[in-house]
Structure 1
Amino acid sequence: MKKSVLGVLGLCAIATLSACSDDKPATTQTDTKPEATQTPVAEAVSATLSSGVDFDNFDRTVRPQDDFYSYVNGGWLKSAEIPGDRTSIGAFYDLREKSKEDVKAIIEEVAAQKDLAEGSDEQKVADLYRSYMDVETLNKLGVQPLEAELKKIAAIENKAQLAEYFAHSQIVGGGTPMAFYIGVDAKNSSRYATHIWQYGLSLPERDYYFNEEERFVNIRKAYVEHIEKMFNLAGFDNAKQAAQTVMALETAIAEHHWDKVAVRDSTKRYNKYELADLKTLAPNFNWDGYLKVLGGDKQPDIIINQPSFIEGLTGLVDTLPLDEWKTYLKWQLLTNYASLMSEELDQENFNFFSKTLNGQQEQEPRWKRGVSSVNSTLGEVVGKVYVKEHFAPEAKARMQELVENLRKAYGASIDELEWMSPETKVKAKEKLAKFNPKIGYPDQWQDYDALVIKSDELVGNKIRASRVEHDRQLAKLGGPIQKWEWFMTPQTVNAYYNPTMNEIVFPAAILQPPFFNMEADDAVNYGGIGAVIGHEMGHGFDDQGSKYDGEGNLKNWWTDSDLEKFQQLGKALVAQYNGYQVFDDLTVNGELTLGENIGDLSGATIAYKAYKMSLNGKEAPVIDGLTGDERFFIGFTQIWRAKFKEEAMRNRVATDPHSPAKFRAIGALSNMPEFYQTFEVKEGHEMYIPAEKQVKIW
């Protein structure tokens, strides 16, 4: 599987899977449309100056009123080329590359030290990186590091033991058809609870197993061929038959998966079962053995996110032959660890999951993948040094000020809402006041003392890391909520909202241009990082986040009438985004992307309001020929600059809750009267939406 169990935590990130613009040519101007409004933007010719605007990226053949995204980013889109070892470039992705370079320097500095103390954080970082870079040893070992687990699979004698191995396989990172995890109880946010989430697929999403379009048919064919190649490379028997068996079993599992829209529903996912009642859900499954291996057997209850999936899956456990399940488990083990073994296994794994699925033509340099391995295993160890070297205290102070300004603006906007009753406004502002912002880095760092790292055991290091992480999560049960915990490292270029803790989190690495520029004036920063802050706040009030109160509990705080109005506004936004064409044969999925689209619209709207409030009634200065409002909207649009391989874009539209970057920009701006006023957008312009149909939620 190519997904992490952490993906079930329900975090709403700004760009975990942020998509890109399409590559359609700019629309040709005709006499039937209004003339382009001449603004100071069209006359600016300088390179990046104190405005924080990069004029070199503009495409002035595009009218800003038709496609503001291409107007601001089109020059870059035409000239930028995606390197062979990447599927995307742009604001987010280039900063992520910079973060890798920064972390590499940290790792190499540590690794250059001699006589590192055994068990020290420095020794662990250095030896984990060495174990990844030691290709000669990996080639000699082949699949030998998996032998112990392969013997365990071969020794499974009955379905009761099969259930126990599902649990064990997750603990060692080997893959499992259902994911067990520890998380905050959504209806009692003062306690941790055990959860189960649907899992078990290697293709990106259930529709990949059933869609009859040629592209998906070809992917399924290539996937079966890939499994056969991998089994042959690993020296496993009956590779051809095994590939057919794995595909058939994964397809059977996929039939019971909830679709990508249904799994967003927080209310439908909350299904608490007393342990004794699990037999009513799946009477023949060895729940006692499964939960005992995982350490969840002492809890009185468990939350099943998709009960019908568990019914279907355990039915398959009952009916399918044991040998088929053992073949499936061998595959899960092999595919999860393939990138950490010999070059031939690693390359074949890349050929399918990166090249075929996403269009990536060549692997990243090994050092980049080594950095990613260290980040995923010892992220906060590296993060401590990263913060010291790359995050100034004044940046944190400025961010704290921006967050509070956005909070004030959000409160003022709630007060002004015409569609919401005073009763619901009080509840909304109570939740807003309880947002907990985290900026830069954790106040308390993770402890890695229990993890043993060896310079010649890459797979062993990852298995031990998986065990230690499982134990760390399990230790939360019965204890207080760890409000200090972060779910992203400081060197991560992203941000997130966590509904059960009602927190908004901004790692240090995103606090750089074009998102946050300490050298630029306020307008572009409010359009950039201000919109990111507003986006994460917006998740607290999107179609799912709005179901949680200020304490992080899944609790309705709406009047019936207000909730109905809110849902109608959401439906209008769904319809708007459903109309956006990514390719000739592919549109945005407005239902899948609704939460992120609300976040983007809220982010831009509230950031603009906060910017205007920060001026205290004064006119913003003209800088580089741009008014403050122009700089704000350009700053917002700059952050979505991105370009993707077509295969990767199609994959992301099918699976990603974020709209493609172009529509994240123009979708939000098309609903803002302030944008219309600034750039004189009128009927006949392509971004024009009649005032009565513009969506204003927050």
Structure 2
Amino acid sequence: MKLKYSGLVIAGAVLISAGAMAGTGEPIKGGKPVPPKKFIDRANMDLSVKPGDDFFEYANGTWLKNNTIPAKETSWGSFMQLRDFNINAVQSLLKKAEADKNAAPGSVEKRVGDLYASGMDSVTIEKLGYTPIKPDLEKINQIKDLKGVLDEVVYMRTMGMGSPMFGFGVGQDSKNPNKMVVNFRQGGTSLPDRDYYLKSDARVQRIQNAYKNYITTLFTLTGTDEATAKKNAETVFNIEKNFATSQMSRVEMRDPQKTYNKFAVADFGKTIPELHVPQMLVELKAKGQDSVLVGQPKFFTDLNSMLTATPVSDWKIYLQWNLLRNSASFLSSPFVKASFAYSQVLSGQKVQTPRWQRMSSLTDGTIGELLGQLYVKEYFTPEAKARMEELVSNLRKAFEIRISKLDWMSDATKKKAIDKLHAFTPKIGYPNHWETYAGLEINRGSFFQNMRNASKWDYNRMISRLGKPVDRTLWGMTPPTVNAYYSPVMNEIVFPAGILQFPFFDPKADDAVNYGGIGAVIGHEMSHGFDDQGSQYDKDGTLRNWWTKEDRKKFEEKTAALGKQYDAYTILDTIHVNGKLTMGENIGDLGGLNVAYTAFKLTKQGQSNEKIDGFTPDQRFFLSFAQIWRGKKLAESAAQQVVTDPHSPEQYRAIGAPVNMDAWYAAFDVKPGDKLYKKPEDRIRMW
């Protein structure tokens, strides 16, 4: 769920009591008052563990022992429990819209209800089988030459059928963020990361075999004999392996300077003459461009060689595969089951997510700003928005205090940092201007065509932004999303409505709980503006240095130390966290928790020592932070996360920032000899 921003990946929602209220404000259940919620519940903790030995276990250990991962999930914990509520909330809105016989044509309720209904119409979907893509498969089969191959690549993109060979899009120019520009990026692969093609250990081989079986199965489901289908799988894998060999690693792509390469259209075309770039841009509806951004130039020079070295017959198989894999989840159950069988090997998930849940998520992902209008009416109050605005303001003040007191940064750089902080644009809850999806045709009886229409519409919307002023009202997430993000080119922090819920926030919770939860999230997103990537963008969102040379060197020394800390953490005994890949998120956690703590200490509770349920205010603050990371993950998903996810595993997010904070040591009396103890001089103090 990423666009071009660094964000805190969170999924979930919160269960809000709908019971009647007694005069005391306590909810009624069965005629008796319900005991007040324990925001820090000892029943979830393992008090036999010393906090200084394993803070994650101390805060969450009993919960971890008493809970198992449901068969339909790959992980389980605070976020997943919240997500379950949220997806049920979304489904209730969708079912109501679906059943509304009086909804006016073109209304939000009608369009949302029709899209969901089409996805739930399994009878029609099963009858159709793979007939929705038969004409497209045959069209690819009729290709005669390389020109036909490239024409089909363009056709598939503009018609919403997939993105073969390379990445293509329209976005802000990082060095001129007021201009929208065409960008080309590496692509062409289907497995989650290039390493799945290039490595050969037992786990990777198992995934490769599952992937080839998946390709084989989808081809056989469209009438290809098994022997030919197996050959097709080898052909596809070998083409994609060539693409993978040419790709930058995820760590390399974290350098925004390295991935910023501007070319005149004619000059870029000369580096890849077989692609006929000037003509292709016209066919891609991006005519009139004088320059393009290219993320990974070497990938495209290699692609140029591949175009002629690979037989047209192989390219046809590759294009058919792209059509199949991009269509499978919208076709009949044999295709859906084949997709799940493959994903099981990657994730370890035991049973498939129920169809209603998949269709609810799909509706949100497709027309989320229509569904979002229904969501905020039901689940997001003006009071919640006002409280969130207050918290963001408090965190911004705390961040300025911390920057002003940094002992490693010069006054000149501090001023630029504070200017950038002041320039942050916060977006809270939902957009001020809703997307209407004008021109997107939705028909209750045509699920596959609805999804094709939506993809085509989305492509045309993206292309339409060329030549227009940058629209700073756009959102990269939908309102029901329990998540948040920071955009460096927009210099904005964004908090959809779905995140202002427990364990992040509860209006009845004490400040320690709210600042350790939502406060740390707000601080996390602010800190992304000053992480190893975001810190390379100035207050206007321009990729431009604003640091003194000496300050930048000191900052990089601190990031290197943080990287080593996370490199030392292991998953599944032998697999280590990648400190460079997770650097931005780790800085977000460290900076965010420090800023949240500073803001908390400005509150009345933060300045007191009054205990609640036996815990001091500072203890409750850190326990609140640790409990939002409560969770467990299947081994397969944990191993995949280390390769593909820029976020550290949950247990290390719970401890990685606190062990660098003096306040945590004081709160839990952590001393030399404790397993998590770090000497004061070794604690990493950044923001």
Q: Provide TM-score, normalisation by structure 1.
A: 0.93
Pick aligned residue for 1:288 from 278, 281, 284 = 278
Aligned partner of 1:201 in structure 2 is 189
**Is 2:205 aligned against 1:217?**
yes
Pick aligned residue for 1:474 from 426, 438, 463 = 463
Unpaired runs of at least 5, structure 1: 1-5, 19-46
Supply the distance in 2 between the matched residues of 1:146 and 1:54 (Cα, whole angstroms).
Answer: 53
Contact 1:107-1:126 at 8 Å conserved across structures: yes
Aligned partner of 2:4 in structure 1 is 10
Contact 1:184-1:192 at 8 Å conserved across structures: yes
Residues 140 and 687 of structure 1, relative CA distance in 2, 3 Å threshold: same
Contact 1:100-1:371 at 8 Å conserved across structures: yes
Residues 427 and 555 of structure 1, relative CA distance in 2, 3 Å threshold: same
1:489-568 pair list within 5 angstroms: 489-568=478-557
Contact 1:51-1:524 at 8 Å conserved across structures: no
Supply the distance in 1 between the matched residues of 2:92 and 2:80 (Cα, whole angstroms).
Answer: 19
Q: Tell me the amino acid that sits aligned with residue 470 of structure 1.
A: Y
- Greater displacement, 211-220 / 123-132: 123-132
Alpha-carbon deviation of 1:226?
1.7
Contact 1:167-1:176 at 8 Å conserved across structures: no
Supply the distance in 2 between the matched residues of 1:568 and 1:302 (Cα, whole angstroms).
Answer: 34
**Is 2:174 aligned against 1:179?**
no
Alpha-carbon deviation of 1:410?
0.6
Aligned partner of 2:425 in structure 1 is 436
Supply the distance in 1 between the matched residues of 2:105 and 2:425 (Cα, whole angstroms).
Answer: 38
Q: For each residue in 1:524-560, what CA deviation from the matched residue of structure 2 results, as whole angstroms up to 9, or x when unmatched?
A: 1000000000000010000000000111000000000
Supply the distance in 2 between the matched residues of 1:181 and 1:48 (Cα, whole angstroms).
Answer: 53
- Indicate the SS of the match to 1:420: coil
**Is 2:412 aligned against 1:426?**
no
Alpha-carbon deviation of 1:314?
2.3
Alpha-carbon deviation of 1:151?
3.0
Pick aligned residue for 1:60 from 47, 50, 55 = 47
Aligned partner of 1:400 in structure 2 is 389
Residues 138 and 51 of structure 1, relative CA distance in 2, 3 Å threshold: closer
Alpha-carbon deviation of 1:217?
1.0
1:441-480 pair list within 5 angstroms: 441-480=430-469
Contact 1:542-1:599 at 8 Å conserved across structures: yes
- Indicate the SS of the match to 1:255: helix
1:249-648 pair list within 5 angstroms: 249-353=239-343, 355-615=344-604, 618-619=607-608, 621-648=610-637
Q: For each residue in 1:2-58, what CA deviation from the matched residue of structure 2 results, as whole angstroms up to 9, or x when unmatched?
A: xxxx74x3211111599xxxxxxxxxxxxxxxxxxxxxxxxxxxx995662122210
- Indicate the SS of the match to 1:504: strand
Aligned partner of 1:124 in structure 2 is 111
- Indicate the SS of the match to 2:257: helix
Supply the distance in 1 between the matched residues of 2:279 and 2:131 (Cα, whole angstroms).
Answer: 28
Supply the distance in 2 between the matched residues of 1:552 and 1:228 (Cα, whole angstroms).
Answer: 46
Aligned partner of 1:160 in structure 2 is 147
Supply the distance in 1 between the matched residues of 2:543 and 2:143 (Cα, whole angstroms).
Answer: 41
- Greater displacement, 142-151 / 484-493: 142-151
Supply the distance in 2 between the matched residues of 1:565 and 1:163 (Cα, whole angstroms).
Answer: 49
**Is 2:654 aligned against 1:660?**
no
Q: For each residue in 1:228-277, what CA deviation from the matched residue of structure 2 results, as whole angstroms up to 9, or x when unmatched?
A: 11111121352111111111111111111111101111111111111111
Contact 2:184-2:294 at 8 Å conserved across structures: yes
Residues 627 and 693 of structure 1, relative CA distance in 2, 3 Å threshold: same
Alpha-carbon deviation of 1:318?
2.1
Supply the distance in 2 between the matched residues of 1:454 and 1:56 (Cα, whole angstroms).
Answer: 50
Aligned partner of 1:170 in structure 2 is 157
Supply the distance in 2 between the matched residues of 1:411 and 1:174 (Cα, whole angstroms).
Answer: 45
Contact 2:269-2:276 at 8 Å conserved across structures: no
Aligned partner of 1:241 in structure 2 is 231
Supply the distance in 1 between the matched residues of 2:570 and 2:606 (Cα, whole angstroms).
Answer: 40
Supply the distance in 2 between the matched residues of 1:526 and 1:665 (Cα, whole angstroms).
Answer: 15
Alpha-carbon deviation of 1:104?
0.5
- Indicate the SS of the match to 1:268: coil
Residues 193 and 421 of structure 1, relative CA distance in 2, 3 Å threshold: same
Pick aligned residue for 2:125 from 128, 133, 138 = 138
Contact 1:167-1:291 at 8 Å conserved across structures: no
- Greater displacement, 415-424 / 295-304: 295-304
Supply the distance in 2 between the matched residues of 1:216 and 1:338 (Cα, whole angstroms).
Answer: 23
Q: Tell me the amino acid that sits aligned with residue 67 of structure 2.
A: A
Unpaired runs of at least 5, structure 2: 13-33
Q: For each residue in 1:413-437, what CA deviation from the matched residue of structure 2 results, as whole angstroms up to 9, or x when unmatched?
A: 0111111011100000000000011
Alpha-carbon deviation of 1:618?
3.9
Contact 1:85-1:361 at 8 Å conserved across structures: yes
- Indicate the SS of the match to 1:183: strand
Supply the distance in 2 between the matched residues of 1:524 and 1:616 (Cα, whole angstroms).
Answer: 11
**Is 2:134 aligned against 1:147?**
yes
Contact 2:272-2:300 at 8 Å conserved across structures: yes
Q: Tell me the amino acid that sits aligned with residue 451 of structure 1.
A: L
Supply the distance in 1 between the matched residues of 2:105 and 2:324 (Cα, whole angstroms).
Answer: 31
**Across the two proteins, how many residue pairs are aligned to each other?**
663
Supply the distance in 2 between the matched residues of 1:211 and 1:192 (Cα, whole angstroms).
Answer: 38
- Indicate the SS of the match to 2:427: strand
- Indicate the SS of the match to 1:69: helix
Identity %: 44
- Greater displacement, 541-550 / 457-466: 457-466
Q: Provide TM-score, normalisation by structure 2.
A: 0.94
Q: Tell me the amino acid that sits aligned with residue 274 of structure 1.
A: A
**Is 2:98 aligned against 1:108?**
no
Contact 2:75-2:631 at 8 Å conserved across structures: yes
Supply the distance in 1 between the matched residues of 2:190 and 2:620 (Cα, whole angstroms).
Answer: 44
Aligned partner of 1:87 in structure 2 is 74
Supply the distance in 2 between the matched residues of 1:324 and 1:416 (Cα, whole angstroms).
Answer: 62
Contact 2:605-2:617 at 8 Å conserved across structures: no
Q: CA RMSD in A?
A: 1.6
Supply the distance in 1 between the matched residues of 2:360 and 2:72 (Cα, whole angstroms).
Answer: 15
- Indicate the SS of the match to 1:217: helix
Supply the distance in 1 between the matched residues of 2:9 and 2:106 (Cα, whole angstroms).
Answer: 35
- Indicate the SS of the match to 2:552: helix
Supply the distance in 1 between the matched residues of 2:436 and 2:11 (Cα, whole angstroms).
Answer: 29
Q: For each residue in 1:307-353, what CA deviation from the matched residue of structure 2 results, as whole angstroms up to 9, or x when unmatched?
A: 11111122211210111111011111111111111111100111102
Contact 1:201-1:250 at 8 Å conserved across structures: yes
Aligned partner of 1:43 in structure 2 is none
Pick aligned residue for 1:77 from 54, 64, 82 = 64
Alpha-carbon deviation of 1:616?
9.1
Contact 1:437-1:503 at 8 Å conserved across structures: yes
Moved over 4 A (4+): 47-51
Q: Tell me the amino acid that sits aligned with residue 112 of structure 2.
A: V
Supply the distance in 2 between the matched residues of 1:593 and 1:664 (Cα, whole angstroms).
Answer: 11
Contact 2:431-2:474 at 8 Å conserved across structures: yes
